Amino acid sequence: MHDWPIPPAPTPLTIPKLPAIPDSYWDIVKTGQFPERFWLNTPEPTSDSLEGVTVHGFARAGAAVEIPDLPTHLVPFAQDGQQYFVFDVSTTPAAIRYIDTDVDQWLDIAPDFDHFWQALTWTTPALTETTYSRQKLGHAMLVAHGTELAPLLELARFEWSWQEYGDWLLWLLTHRPLPIQQVILDEVVFLHDFMPRHLSGKQMAALTSALATSEVSSDFHFKSKKW
């Protein structure tokens, strides 16, 4: 599980500690809100894909959030736009359902939370302008393992403010392993060569300083000789 590293974080749902919600759920959200395994195969196409759907920030404990489109026995624990993952507290144990109110799609996806959790898998995160949301993009960058980060950064470059985009570059560079650092280096080189005014001088200085002491420092020094 991951937490959102750069404020402001997306405003996640909160849910009360109802008896129907298992302890295993609360144990998981103690370690973060954004799952490393975020993909679920579904029995029919969804707004995300022909084969499945992605799940994003899990709700932590708090007051119930009223969703006018959902009946009261469905307790949403993850939401992106009009897509919801819910506990159906009318069943014992509480079944997990996926609902997209925009297209009136209501799917039964697991008999309980533990089966749902076990069914989640990691897949290469991919996002387009048509499927974009700020939460989806940040989550995708958190779970990226390597070169699949590059097109996500390109999307962030145009969808996010220069401040947020630059802050994420620095965080990923200083908190993620070598394959991610290499992608960040390539992004910084691109910015220097083709979009030198996209970030502030302070942000570029912080990035180049961090690159100079990173695991890709040798490559950085070679590529920046003529800067």
> Residues 93-107: pLDDT tens digits?
999 999 999 999 999
Q: Report whether pLDDT(151) > 90.
A: yes
- 22 and 61 together in one domain: yes
- 113 in Cβ contact with 94 (< 8 Å): yes
Alpha-carbon torsion, ordered 82, 37, 143, 59, to 10 deg: 50
- 191 and 105 together in one domain: no
Q: Report whether pLDDT(12) > 80.
A: no
This prediction has a pTM of 0.94
Within-domain flag for 62: yes
- 21 and 103 together in one domain: yes
Rounded CA Rg of the chain: 20
Q: What is the pLDDT averaged over residues 40-46?
A: 95
- 57 and 90 together in one domain: yes
Alpha carbon distance 98, 106 (integer Å): 6
Last-in-domain residue among 119, 152, 176: 119
- 114 and 153 together in one domain: no
- 80 and 175 together in one domain: no
pLDDT value for 1: 97
Last-in-domain residue among 84, 102, 119: 119
- 82 and 154 together in one domain: no
If pLDDT is split at 50, 70 and 90, which confidence band does 131 have? Answer: confident
- Which residues does residue 78 pair with via DSSP β-bridges, in sequence order? 58, 85
Alpha carbon distance 81, 205 (integer Å): 36
- 96 and 176 together in one domain: no
- Range of lowest pLDDT (33-37, 44-48, 141-145, 165-169): 44-48
- 214 and 181 together in one domain: yes
Q: Using one digit for the tens of pLDDT, what is the confidence trace for 62-76?
A: 999 889 999 999 999
**What does the chain look like in DSSP terms, one character per residue?**
-B---SSSPP---EE---TTS-HHHHHHHTT-SB-S--EEE-SS--SS-SSEEE--PBPEESSPPP-TTS-TTEEEEEEETTEEEEEETTSSSPEEEEEETTTTEEEEEESSHHHHHHH-B-------TTT--HHHHHHHHHH--STTHHHHHHHHHHHS-HHHHHHHHHHHHHHS-HHHHHHHHHHHHHHHHH-TTSS-HHHHHHHHHHHHTSTTHHHHHHHTTT-
- 79 and 32 together in one domain: yes
Report how far Cα 8 is from the mean position of its chain's Cα atoms.
Answer: 14
| Average predicted confidence (pLDDT) for the chain | 95
pLDDT value for 129: 86
- 47 in Cβ contact with 103 (< 8 Å): yes
What the block records as the tokens of 137 is: 């993009």
Within-domain flag for 2: no
pLDDT value for 183: 98
Q: What is the pLDDT averaged over residues 132-158?
A: 96
- Which residues does residue 58 pair with via DSSP β-bridges, in sequence order? 78
pLDDT value for 227: 85
Number of structural domains (the chain) is 2
Within-domain flag for 184: yes
Within-domain flag for 128: no
Residue type, 169: L
Can you give the residue range of the structural domain that contains 170? 144-223
Q: What is the pLDDT averaged over residues 106-120?
A: 98
Last-in-domain residue among 119, 136, 163: 119
